[in-house]
Structure 1
Amino acid sequence: MIALSTSRLAGLRERFAPHFQAIADGAADRDRTGELPYREVADLAAAGFGAIRVPESHGGAGATLPELFELLTDLAAADSNIAQALRAHFAFVEDRLVAAPGPGRDTWLARFASGELVGNSWTEVGPVTVGEVITKVSPDGSGGFTITGAKYYSTGSIFADWLDTYAQRTDTGTRVIAAVSRHQPGVELAEDWDGFGQRTTGTGTSTFTGAAVEELIEFDTRFKYQTAFYQQVLLAVLAGSAKAAEREFAAQLAARKRTFSHAAANIAGQDPQLLQVIGEVSAAAFAAAATVERVSHALQGAYESAISLHSGGSIQEDEAANDAAELASAQGQVVLTPLVLTALTHAFDALAASATSVSKNLDRHWRNARTAGNHNPWVFKARLIGDLAVNGTQLPRVWAIGASK
């Protein structure tokens, strides 16, 4: 199995380091003011970040999944909002990478290489029942299709050129992914997400009113490890949040001038109890990064298995590889969510009341991790992992949200 190319990863890190540093420099202020990172996302896209998984033969960097998620963790350490905002983009790229070779696939790879980005529009608005799709795609009478409906949690769409939209055809009832250009009158995007964390992911409502559809992709043909992939982006967000907290809390402790009469040292930065706290946060960040790496290898196995099917690969081996990826991402989620949140809470113990200052905005790391951790609730995943261990029941790879019937 392909793992990390040390030289390629080092080169990519060097290439994007200035962008990540610029992003990190403004992250706290953007979180405080709610300013969306339009320029930062555009700069990343122009620098080729959205094409790092695209083969070199098609203008990309040809990175493996372990390399992608190392870089996404680095980006999340700079600003976890931007890493999450690109979640849908990299998932759509992955789907096109495993699609059958041909002109359609090449067109999308060329778009990615030119810096075009994809956003997400999957979750239905309102009291829909589980599995119901009320966003509809209809024939337009001239060989094309239009789409009408509304979606929420459209993370990253406001920065994107294309919208990866889950819908249902009115003529056949088939569930599809509609690729829709956001640059048209029939598409309206609102940044109306009101969560206390991940405030600048550009999340909100997407409304489609007879918008033209560029391409329809049958949902059942979508890459099988998609749920594991989406979850892995959130794991990278958690790992990056822990890494950022280690960096910023350590810097605050090093710069601290005041201490207490009953402290264990006269200088806060030399106090063994406070150093222990930072050490424990650092260890949690290490464990989080290691978990992301382990899940990445499972995803890489699923990718390679999917590619092998184009040349007669084993369906049974492909199923096993996808089950392994789903299990790895679920186990990572169950471990990392409480680990990172506990570490970020504990980080405040290294400082005093001034750590809660709004001007420092250190609480954004906890808020962002708590918000990312609330996606796809891990408590359900823990139960499913137990069901596999005890009863041999494989985890579901696709699931839906809505009201009960």
Structure 2
Amino acid sequence: MSQIESGWGSPPSAEYEQLAEKFRPLFANIRAGAIARELRREPPLEEIEWLKQSGFTALRLPKSAGGAGATLPELFTLLIELGEADSNLVQSLRGHFGFVENVLSNRDPVFQQQWFTRIARGEIVGPAWSETGEARQSVFSTQIKRSGDSWQLNGKKFYTTGSLYSDWINIGLTDENHKGVSVTVSRTAPGVTVLDDWNGFGQTLTASGTAIFENVEIQHTDISEDAHFGYSPAFYQLIHLATLAGIGRAQSGEVAALVAARTRTYSNGNAARAADDAQILQVVGRLRSAAYTSGAIVQHAAQALQRAFEAQQQNDEQQKTQSVAIAELEVSQSLNVVTDLLLNASTTLFDALGASATLKPLALDRFWRNARTLSSHNPRIYKDRIVGDFAVNGTLPPEQWRIGVADTPPEK
């Protein structure tokens, strides 16, 4: 069924339905096992492999390089559909799709062709950037040091989302000159250990745990400057919002199906069948409206990212800076609206059902747990302030930000 026929509105392009039709049977298979994986805590290894083999992980590559040439609005709309099937998979591929954007933005033709080839083969890249504990904002504790003609990498990372499922790991680190750089190593290289120790109460199957690097040999050609594509903060944040929108679709669909099948009703209700009870239908309607609005917002914000991407392909620095700032602003304006819609919906969904809805086999609690976990990744309390500062003072959103111990205390 098309996006319009499903009631989710116009697709992002005239070609979208043809593109999506290829993946929808795959999404259906993924969704069929989502609850069982959640209850048994089974990593989606097979499902990740399906996505790789289908070409989903190469969506953004040009057709000439073996990809689908998908635009960012097309990518994000597909991520919503995948999130409806299983939100763990969207977050698990978040770092990979960000790495692909870096490849698309890279001006080195040798580097670009190397990674085009790998990504077209279905190889995926996971992230290893965040550090916990006493990690500082300005430098990484993960470092490389020269060892003869090569380098050795040592360090420990957390929030390495999806790296356990990846072929490669992209790592942020500091070199001997205290300069920020990155390297990309094979996940199976000697000295690389990835642990499935993520113990958050939500998004439990994203492998967002620890990666350890012990004397991993690095060649000089593997080292890159710590440079992200300009619109990366907005891009990564919008993936979270697309995941939330997918959760919205999933929970509204599951609750609607449960209400339709429900035979027990309350004597103080409004009808002999729950499916005919006006108050129950109102709850279900609100769930679907939250999903619709969230998806529409994500699709619209993705257009701002597309403009930033296109500006980045040009040599006009002023246009690039402006388009990146506006993309960040649009996503910031979207964040708390989408987050509130989904957090509220994932709580009120239980009002449409009886106490049996809390039974573990239905796993309806996963929607709130997942939405709450996603909403905690990048502090949303700062977004309204950033938007307000633009509205009142014309201040553009800040550029890249980092988390860690501040080198100097913030001004009060």
SS at match of 1:308: coil
What is the aligned counterpart of 1:97 among 79, 98, 104? 104
Match of 2:90 in 1: 83
Note if contact 1:158-1:191 (Cα within 8 Å) is conserved in structure 2.
Answer: yes
Match of 1:332 in 2: 334
Match of 1:5 in 2: 13
Query: Is the aligned partner of 1:34 residue 2:44?
Result: no
Match of 2:368 in 1: 366
SS at match of 1:342: helix
Query: Is the aligned partner of 1:191 residue 2:196?
Result: yes
Root-mean-square deviation over aligned CA pairs: 1.3
Query: Is the aligned partner of 1:206 residue 2:225?
Result: no
Q: 2:124 and 2:291 mapped to 1: Cα distance?
A: 29
Residues 218-257 of structure 1 aligned to structure 2 (within 5 Å): 218-219=225-226, 221-257=227-263
Residues 36-55 of structure 1 aligned to structure 2 (within 5 Å): 36-55=43-62
What is the aligned counterpart of 1:274 among 267, 280, 288? 280
Shift of 1:248: 0.3
Shift of 1:177: 1.7
Shift of 1:403: 2.8
Match of 1:297 in 2: 303
Note if contact 2:139-2:178 (Cα within 8 Å) is conserved in structure 1.
Answer: no
What is the aligned counterpart of 1:116 among 113, 120, 123? 123
Deviations 1:185-220 (A, max 9, x none): 21000011111110001111000112133622211x
SS at match of 1:224: coil
Letter of the 2:354 counterpart: A
Which stretches in structure 2 are left out of the alignment for 5+ residues? 1-10, 408-412
Deviations 1:21-59 (A, max 9, x none): 111011111111111000100111011111000000000
Structure 1 range deviating more: 175-184 or 106-115: 175-184
Residues 371-386 of structure 1 aligned to structure 2 (within 5 Å): 371-386=373-388
Query: Is the aligned partner of 1:283 residue 2:313?
Result: no
Q: 2:106 and 2:137 mapped to 1: Cα distance?
A: 28
Query: Is the aligned partner of 1:176 residue 2:181?
Result: yes
Q: 2:281 and 2:41 mapped to 1: Cα distance?
A: 33
SS at match of 1:260: coil
Which stretches in structure 1 are left out of the alignment for 5+ residues? none
Q: 1:353 and 1:5 mapped to 2: Cα distance?
A: 43
Deviations 1:252-273 (A, max 9, x none): 0000010011101110011111
TM-score for both structures, normalised by structure 2: 0.93
Shift of 1:397: 2.2
SS at match of 1:211: strand
SS at match of 1:154: coil
SS at match of 2:314: helix
Q: Where do 4+ consecutive residues of structure 1 move more than 3 Å?
A: none
Query: Is the aligned partner of 1:147 residue 2:142?
Result: no
Shift of 1:222: 2.0
SS at match of 1:146: strand
Shift of 1:101: 5.1
Match of 2:6 in 1: none
Structure 1 range deviating more: 125-134 or 373-382: 125-134
Match of 1:74 in 2: 81
Deviations 1:342-392 (A, max 9, x none): 111111111111111111111111111111011101111111111121122
Q: 1:147 and 1:279 mapped to 2: Cα distance?
A: 53
Note if contact 1:131-1:401 (Cα within 8 Å) is conserved in structure 2.
Answer: no
Note if contact 1:162-1:180 (Cα within 8 Å) is conserved in structure 2.
Answer: yes
Match of 2:354 in 1: 352
SS at match of 1:167: strand
Structure 1 range deviating more: 123-132 or 253-262: 123-132
Q: 2:200 and 2:64 mapped to 1: Cα distance?
A: 41
Match of 1:307 in 2: 313
Q: How many pairs does the alignment contain?
A: 395
SS at match of 1:333: helix
SS at match of 2:405: coil
Deviations 1:234-287 (A, max 9, x none): 001100000000110000000001001110111001111100111111111011
Letter of the 1:150 counterpart: K
Q: 2:306 and 2:108 mapped to 1: Cα distance?
A: 19
TM-score for both structures, normalised by structure 1: 0.95
Q: 1:340 and 1:391 mapped to 2: Cα distance?
A: 30
What is the aligned counterpart of 2:68 among 61, 67, 72? 61
Note if contact 1:228-1:397 (Cα within 8 Å) is conserved in structure 2.
Answer: no
Letter of the 2:77 counterpart: E
Match of 2:136 in 1: 129
Note if contact 1:179-1:213 (Cα within 8 Å) is conserved in structure 2.
Answer: no
Note if contact 1:137-1:148 (Cα within 8 Å) is conserved in structure 2.
Answer: yes
Q: 1:96 and 1:118 mapped to 2: Cα distance?
A: 11
Letter of the 1:159 counterpart: Y
Structure 1 range deviating more: 110-119 or 14-23: 14-23
